[in-house]
Amino acid sequence: MPLLTALAASVVEHGRGMAARSSSGRLDPPLTLVLDDVAAVAPIPALPELLTTGAEHGLPTYALMRSEEQARARWPHRALVG
C-alpha cells in the first residue's frame, strides 16, 4: 500500500518538523500515532527510529503487528521486538 505508507510517513515528517520548530523541541499536545497492522498496511521505513525517539519529540507511537515474525520480515536489520 504505497499510498498509505506515503501518507503515514508524511504525517510523521510534518510532526517532526513542527516539533523541531517549537521552543521545547517537542509537540505539545503530543501527536499520538496508533498504527494498526503497520507492517502490512503502511510499513513506514523509519518506524524503528520513530519507536525509539518519537516520544521524546511528542510523537508517542504504538505499532501493532500480527506477529514478531511479521516485524522481522519487514524490518530485518532493526530492533523492533522487545
- Grid cell locating 34: 496508533
Q: What is the mean pLDDT of residues 71-81?
A: 77
**Rounded distance, CA 80 to CA 66, Å?**
13
**Closest CA relative to residue 44, chosen from 68, 19, 78:** 78
Each residue of 37-50: pLDDT tens digit? 999 999 999 999 99
pLDDT at residue 76 above 90?
no
Shortest CA distance to 75 belongs to which of 36, 49, 53? 49
Q: What is the pLDDT of residues 26-39, one digit of tens each?
A: 999 999 999 999 99
User: What are the DSSP E strand ranges found in 1-82?
Assistant: 33-36, 61-64
